[in-house]
Amino acid sequence: MKPGQPPAGLRERKKQQTRETIARVALELFAERGYDQTTLPEIAEAADVSTRTIFAYYQSKEDILFCDDPAFYEQLTQALEDRPEGATTVDALREFLATGGSMHESMALRKRIVAGSESLRLAERARFARAEQLIEESIARDLGAGPGDIRPALVAASMTAAFNTMQDRIEVESAEPMTHDQASAIIDEVLTFVRAGLDGLTRG
């Protein structure tokens, strides 16, 4: 360690603090000024860092907006892979979502920002393809599906399509982003439907 250099643990905490500050400030600016109208230099100024520092943590504004994705997919992967013996993908998903807790303030703010932009909604769905792939792989294990078996892909795609369709309908009718309770209710309905279908496929 060089003289005057903070210990590794302190450096990591400072990095995490800077990362969180950039994300928090960016969300506030996106909500206040609009996502497209907010520039990286403006985010840097509000976060009291340089634009170069932002690029040390994020590749783009979109990466800042969806900064929670890596942690979410890591947790989802663990939930699906480490499910108890005898538990299905549907069981694991229901447990994962039930223990996720209520939507915190930054998530609610992010949803409002995304809901106000068609391009961001499309970007969110493109990113969610990762979740669909993880679900497909897990369902394939449930069914003992081999290479070329299309059933897991169809089930995972149906789950994603059902959720997106119901989300769009709620947000169009209410003119507001879907709430956590609404999302939970939709997910439960979709999982109940999918479980029945998977049980039929398994028996078949």
With b for 16 or more beta-carbon neighbours within 10 A and e for fewer, the 5-15 pattern comes to eeeeeeeeeee
Whole-model pTM?
A: 0.74
Residues of the chain with CATH 1.10.357.10: 68-203
pLDDT of residue 102: 45
All CATH 1.10.10.60 domain ranges of the chain, comma separated, are 8-64
CB-CB contact of 129 with 43 (8 Å): no
pLDDT, one tens digit for every residue, the chain (204 residues): 555 555 668 888 999 999 999 999 999 999 999 999 999 999 999 999 999 999 999 999 999 999 988 888 999 999 999 998 888 888 888 888 777 644 566 777 888 898 888 899 889 888 889 999 999 999 999 888 888 899 899 889 888 887 777 666 666 666 666 666 776 677 777 777 777 766 666 665
90 exposed, middle or buried (CB, 10 Å; 0-12, 13-18, 19+)? Answer: buried
In words, the CATH class of domain 8-64 is mainly alpha
Q: Which one, of 94, 101, 66, 110, lies nearest residue 159 by Cα?
A: 94
Q: For residue 37, give both structure tokens.
A: 């109208």
User: 68-203: which CATH topology?
Assistant: Tetracycline Repressor; domain 2 (1.10.357)
